[in-house]
Amino acid sequence: MSKILFILFFSISLFGSSKTTNIDLLLDKAKKEDKHLLIFFHMTYCGYCNDMIDESFRDKEIQKILNDKFIFVDINVNDRDQVIYNNFKGLKYKFAQKSDVFFYPTIFFIDKNNKRVYKVKGYRSKDKFTNILNYISSKSYKKIDYPSYLDYIEMEK
């Protein structure tokens, strides 16, 4: 009987453990590196989420921009992992609810002062997502809105 309890306890400790995403610590890192946080809310069985992961996040050019300019935070609401952020501690899906995210995928961009500077709801193609990343990383949001930014970069071509 004690052997069965040991095996059961060992199995629970192996498979029942969850990972914690401490966004507060990632924000500290973003401050030190002068980067924005990119918080990607998505679901496992969301076709648009998976398309965005496959087509945009796995693209080499986008990965370079992300590595150079952002701290990436993955919030798959189907994971049983914990999130710590701004006095919140709980499961990822509860964090999404508290953040008023009910549509997937959704992306928040948070500046180094912990201010949400831009929100994207829905799938974005590689080109559109690259434009958004450049808009945020260049801090153009401080001067102009996104449609004006798109007009500006179109004129520069």
Residue 3 lies in a domain: no
Q: How far apart are CA 73 and CA 84, in angstroms?
A: 12
Is the pTM above the cut of 0.85? yes
CATH code of the domain containing 57: 3.40.30.10
12 in any annotated domain:
no
pLDDT tens string for the chain (157 positions)? 444 333 333 333 344 456 999 999 999 999 999 999 999 999 999 999 999 999 999 999 999 999 999 999 999 999 999 999 999 999 999 999 999 999 999 999 999 999 999 999 999 999 999 999 999 999 999 999 999 999 999 888 7
Q: Is residue 42 part of a domain?
A: yes
Task: List, in sequence order, the alpha helices (H) in the chain.
Answer: 2-15, 23-33, 47-52, 60-69, 92-98, 126-137, 146-156
Look at residue 96 and tell me if it is in a domain.
yes
Residue 148 CA, chain-centre distance (Å), reads: 25
Structure tokens at 139: 């801090």
Domain encompassing residue 114: 17-156
For the chain, state the CA radius of gyration: 18
Question: What is the chain's length?
Answer: 157
DSSP 60-96: HHHHHHHHHHEEEEEEETTS--EEEETTEEEEHHHHH
Hey, what amino acid is at 83? V
Tell me whether residue 41 is in a domain: yes
Question: How many domains does the structure of the chain reveal?
Answer: 1
CA distance 11 to 9: 5
Q: Is residue 7 part of a domain?
A: no
Q: What is the bridge-based pairing of β-strands 70-76 and 36-42?
A: parallel
Residue 71 lies in a domain: yes
Residue 132 belongs to a domain: yes
Cα separation, 156 vs 136, whole angstroms: 18
